Chains A and B, each alone.
Chain A
């Protein structure tokens, strides 16, 4: 069906946002009698709990209850919230495994009183040796799961045929999500022993499932409702669950509503982040820069429990060739158990780490060949019909198109030339340029998660209600879903309302993640609306006594007969259908077609499609201070046929800013004792007004994508990885200052202090002195 997409350049929430009237979890007026919960957490990163005495807290003013693991067992529940592997208790029982691990929940008449009482809880932990380094964990056999390997061609046989073989290591740091709205939930007991949980989660079903397990209840007694999130970025995919379940546990024990909202510092201390990786690579090329082989080992810092780490590691393997065709690859991933909070989903979901590594390998290979990395990048870009290491063949491959368009649109050769001239005439400021192509697969790599449902009602007054599993967190998914319904019914915005995400209206939902929220839920909405439309057109045909071959369509709230507007309005049509007892509701499910993946062979067709793009990033460093600016990011990005350019461009710009943050200023630091040192905005720096570069993101022309909603492409994650280019632009600027002497270790983030040390590191000294952090 060919449709003119309903255009809107507004996020539908904007009107409420600018008036301060959009409600976030903490803005809801709590029901009468609501109690407030505060979490008591471990102050040791690893050890046995020798003694836990909560009674002094219980004696405090206002305190109604103090809950521990015992309360879960008493009601016959299971103290377990691990989603992929059951290795994570809701509340610590015998041991603690990370500094900040929840141990008890204090419930009081106010949050202030509950917080005061937590300091009287006595918890003695007999300490055990703490591991904060993934390679050390691997050496001690502390793996979350057996290593995983993805392989194609025959790496071992090819090294001898290579003109150049380069080996090295690369490391990347973690990243705090810093959604501006912290984690939180409000749980309200319902009749029959159930509970309604209003949660700030990307995964309402994840909350429902975990609550059912911990509370020992069937899922139908738990209703989870999500209005909107003040940012998620993956941090609320699995890790919104504990707080929601704790609130529900307390609500059912006390038969009172219970609210739990984390203060920022507790949120930063207790929740996991993007995974740091330490990785090895070996890359083999011909002398003219054709990559023949890549062998990589990833040591992923999973933290103290599996959480989503296995799936994150899978995506690292999928994306360790980025936008390049490499015929022989062996990529092995180790998910390493350490004593930091379980690391989790974060925009890109392991992809950025894989892509950072292959870019590091290419960077080193370029040094060995005496060329700029962009020469190797350009030579190896994917083409139509190339096969990825996981067996999928490219279709509508736009890698070279985005590269070529960017080269032309932004005069890349001129940018390099200008930087060269600048560097020749400036001693204490140096410029660096890097090109960053990206290729990102769209679909959950766990095939079964690629399904969504929509429930559409047309009410008798002609207003339309849409419920799906998608969670709005600023990415504009509700706007896109509303646009889908508006397009099919040809209605203006005020006719369509996208409802809260609620497990009673959309069951068994996948989290809103993997950039796939609009595709999956939008397609389900499309299916449901089209079914209703079919019935409405039949009714219209009867009302107009139209012939079988006449064309009947809806246009701008009126029925059109053979192209001519009739007197039958949308409202009258709905009334007529209602009186004729025509079904005005529809529930539909969408399951992404064609995709499959065999986890034993690591082969298949895991992605519905790929998103491509190419960015050019420029940076300038101050060689006396180590400070720098990322000056400019220019990109040609593959949005497919964007049907909301304003929303999509906003996503791209935000992702680029966040990607640069990860690669430059955002540094998560734990002490050797496993305590998070960067646990406030005073010590953890995110991009501000001054640190985002100029951006010029262009839409790749003529990119069709029938696998995406309305021919568009998913946009949430892919542009994040342009940020990797900022790292290598800084490397090039440092190199310009050092005139090519010595080799700089590849270790992100490239904070100003690292830049300064790299500028003046001794010649021919590949390793930087490590910064020591004491608690």
Chain B
């Protein structure tokens, strides 16, 4: 069945959501491959988003760690992260499907901001659901979304975080399916979202695959990316799926075994659970969902990553808050690039792989820039 990955994924939703999702899947299959859609999508990616983003050879880190390290510069995409690839693709699809309204969930506010950007660009009203606790701790992104013209709806139920924001958005979607598109932010949730988000993000890997060969003369030995829901990672990996290139996902290991968001690397792997509409792996019940990076602070993982791990195609490793912060600083000092805390997990994992001599050439997805994390950095590194 479409949307299933080795028994993971699928569409496990209440009946009122079945029809809008089936319609979305049909629209996706019909519209996205069309020349007209692709032309428009590529146009905006290039002229609005700034694609292609370059691949950068990190000389200092390569020498220091003993392996060739290449970074895919997704932090240079408009908005400062890879999120725009997906929001642009889905918003254009929504427009073609006759939808007049976009809704989105957001945790840290990055996806909400990228949705607000395309809403302004394409003149589609946007409503973003955000938990009360996230609104409190990510005020700057709330301001950005409002400045861009989006309505930010505070979600006060349950734990008042990302999971409840998803739920509120799904409810809105069920009630307003006729004119509304639910723009999901990662490769998670019920079909068709995981395969659709992968499709829109796979431009990352397609570009990088050529660029690395140009610079390096060959394919990399491995690709490394951080994994929360896992959209930037699947976007990088997908183009290399038939190559002899190993995949590594850096999951947020948090502070200890009871506080992390690393379902693949750290939790007991048993039968998949059904979480937010898909079969996937979820952190254990006795674990508190935690990461220093808000963008990875998610208790489950995109279903395709669970499948890639089960197949042995990809390995997932936990990187602690501390290791990520160290990588954040090392990258800034060595290469003059301030990465977001999310890809700092990938950088830390690349360092380990290089120092353990696992591979000679590593391609790392630098999926976002670190401006948003300066407050955390200032406290941690005593910058004020």
Partners in one complex: no
Chain A residues with a Cβ under 8 A of chain B: none
